[in-house]
Copies of this chain bind each other. A is one copy, B any other.
Amino acid sequence: MPAIAKTSDTAVVRAARKLLDRGGPAALSMQAVGDAVGVRAPSLYKRFPDRDALVAAVATAAAQELGALLVAADRAARTPRAALASMAVAYRAYARRSPHAYGLLFAPGPGPSRASRAAAVAPVIARLTTLVGDKHALAAARLLTAWLHGFVSMELAGAFQLGGDVDAAFDYGLASLLGAVARA
């Protein structure tokens, strides 16, 4: 009874992510993932209880990836305000670069683990704490992250159809919000 593993959890998640990036959620089928890692679909159920669990693992990896990018953007900035602006730009860039993976983060259905989602927002909360104080940091973080998520998901959905400069709208929104929270 040798029991040779032909693949691994991480290889499965990586393959699933690639299929998602290339073709959206519908392309992430158990059969396609199995093909990509050289295994039949039923074998995947030894690693993940069902498709939702696999999708959730992809979402968790995406949340970690985004969190790492925000940390990097935060570190490269010199003032709290510049750090928040830099994280906002990095956030939007990630969503535009990986729209399907981003779409998993706050969608109904299988989502990232609580820990990974909390970790993704942690650097934003940390900066806001130094900027507005403990008392308002959480509410301010929710204001900023809600706007960020709403803006990029509307942008990805093509909901900004009334013309005008979308980049300018992003800058306007960011400046308004940073001004508003600094004043709180």
* B142 and A169 within 8 A (CB): yes
Q: Tell me if A145 counts as interface (CB < 8 A to partner B).
A: yes
A131-151 vs B, Cβ < 8 Å mask (1 yes, 0 no)? 000001011101101111111
Q: Tell me if A99 counts as interface (CB < 8 A to partner B).
A: yes
* B143 and A173 within 8 A (CB): yes
Q: Tell me if A108 counts as interface (CB < 8 A to partner B).
A: yes
Among B148, B159, B180, B184, the residue within 8 A (CB) of A117 is: B159
Q: Tell me if A1 counts as interface (CB < 8 A to partner B).
A: no
Interface size class of A (residues with CB under 8 A): 35 or more
* A147 and B145 within 8 A (CB): no
A151 surroundings in chain B (CB, below 8 A): 142, 146, 150
* B146 and A154 within 8 A (CB): yes
Task: Tell me, in angstroms, the Cα distance from A158 to B114 when the chains sit together.
Answer: 10
Q: Tell me if A118 counts as interface (CB < 8 A to partner B).
A: yes
Q: Tell me if A153 counts as interface (CB < 8 A to partner B).
A: yes
In the complex, chain A residues 146-166 whose Cβ is within 8 Å of any chain B Cβ: 146-151, 153-154, 156-164
Interface residues of A (CB under 8 A from B): 24, 99-100, 103, 106-108, 111, 114, 117-118, 136, 138-140, 142-143, 145-151, 153-154, 156-164, 168-169, 172-173, 176-177, 179-181, 183-184
